[in-house]
């Protein structure tokens, strides 16, 4: 397994590369997570040094804080007619560029913004690649607080193992930016991501799930070469 420092460098390399794909005048979806932060920082550098003019659409409270720190003007999806390019991380990426997202509990807004984008660029280090979605990570579900128990039962009936996500530095559950809760549903491999995405969203009380199917247009994968150099592989 690569060291923390090498993983950080892989994330930084793909984040910077993706930020360089953004053009003057673009409406840009700003992703959430430790990889997306590098992309936002590089966009900030370009705003300062290259007079890059963009409109940022943050996918979370955290992404808007990062955007503000980097002097990137921000708007909501409601303010714009289109998103030219969105850049975001992922927790799993399968060979068809389908994803699991939502470790940061931002998948509801991420799916709105990433789904609006003409180009949705996914940035990951090589540890995120899987043959089958759900083989490592559970599928995060954003759930209305009053519906948590019915949702737990419905996910069990589908053969999943659901767990209410608990906060690390607060008593009780994680609360999303929208004031909802997160249930992590483990399925031990998902054969039909398209079917599972709509099955989950049809359960009353689930506001969105972390399966992103058919949305990514490109994936940038940071990896380490034989000589220990960071390389970027592209899938499209």
Active-site residues: which are they?
110
**Residue keyed to tokens 């980097």:** 70
Least distance from C-beta 181 to ligand 5RP, angstroms?
A: 14
33 touching ligand 5RP, by CB under 6 A: yes
CA distances from 138 to 17, 114, 143, 177, 227 (A): 29, 20, 15, 20, 34
Least distance from C-beta 30 to ligand 5RP, angstroms?
A: 11
Write each residue from 105 to 124 as x if it is in contact with ligand 5RP (CB under 6 A), else as -, in one continuous string: xxx--x--------------
101 touching ligand 5RP, by CB under 6 A: yes
162 touching ligand 5RP, by CB under 6 A: no
134 touching ligand 5RP, by CB under 6 A: no
CA distances from 2 to 39, 125, 209 (A): 21, 10, 30
Both tokens assigned to 225 = 């070469």
- Residue nearer to ligand 5RP on the CB measure, 89 or 162: 89
Contacts 24+ apart (CB under 8 A), 157-166: 158/187, 158/199, 158/200, 159/187, 160/185, 160/186, 160/187, 161/185, 161/186, 161/187, 162/186, 163/138, 165/105, 165/140
34 touching ligand 5RP, by CB under 6 A: yes
Residue from 29, 44, 56, 104 touching ligand 5RP (CB under 6 A): that is 104
Beta pairing partners, 121: 87, 218
- Residue nearer to ligand 5RP on the CB measure, 58 or 89: 89
Both tokens assigned to 191 = 């054969």
Residue from 91, 114, 142, 184 touching ligand 5RP (CB under 6 A): that is 91
Least distance from C-beta 100 to ligand 5RP, angstroms?
A: 8
- 3-class DSSP assignment, residue 153: helix
Q: Which residues contribute to the site for ligand 5RP (CB under 6 A)?
A: 31-36, 88-91, 101-107, 110
């Amino acid at each position: 397994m690569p060291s923390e420092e090498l993983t950080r460098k892989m994330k930084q390399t793909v984040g910077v590369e993706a930020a360089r794909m953004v053009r003057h005048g673009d409406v840009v979806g700003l992703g959430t997570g430790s990889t997306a932060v590098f992309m936002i920082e590089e966009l900030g550098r370009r705003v300062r040094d290259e007079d890059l003019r963009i409109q940022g659409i943050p996918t979370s409270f955290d992404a808007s804080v990062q955007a503000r720190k980097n002097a990137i003007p921000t708007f909501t999806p409601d303010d714009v007619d289109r998103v030219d390019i969105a850049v975001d991380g992922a927790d799993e990426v399968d060979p068809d560029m389908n994803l699991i997202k939502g470790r940061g509990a931002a998948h509801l807004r991420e799916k709105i913004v990433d789904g609006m984008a003409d180009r949705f660029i996914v940035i990951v280090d090589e540890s995120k690649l899987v043959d089958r979605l759900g083989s490592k990570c559970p599928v995060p579900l954003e759930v209305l607080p009053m519906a948590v128990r019915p949702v737990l039962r419905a996910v069990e009936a589908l053969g999943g193992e659901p767990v209410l996500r608990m906060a690390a530095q607060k008593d009780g559950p994680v609360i999303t930016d929208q004031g909802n809760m997160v249930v992590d549903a483990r399925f031990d491999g998902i054969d039909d991501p398209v079917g599972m995405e709509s099955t989950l969203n049809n359960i009353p009380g689930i506001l969105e799930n972390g399966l992103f199917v058919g949305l990514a247009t490109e994936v940038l994968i940071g990896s380490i070469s034989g000589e220990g150099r960071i390389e970027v592989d592209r899938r499209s």
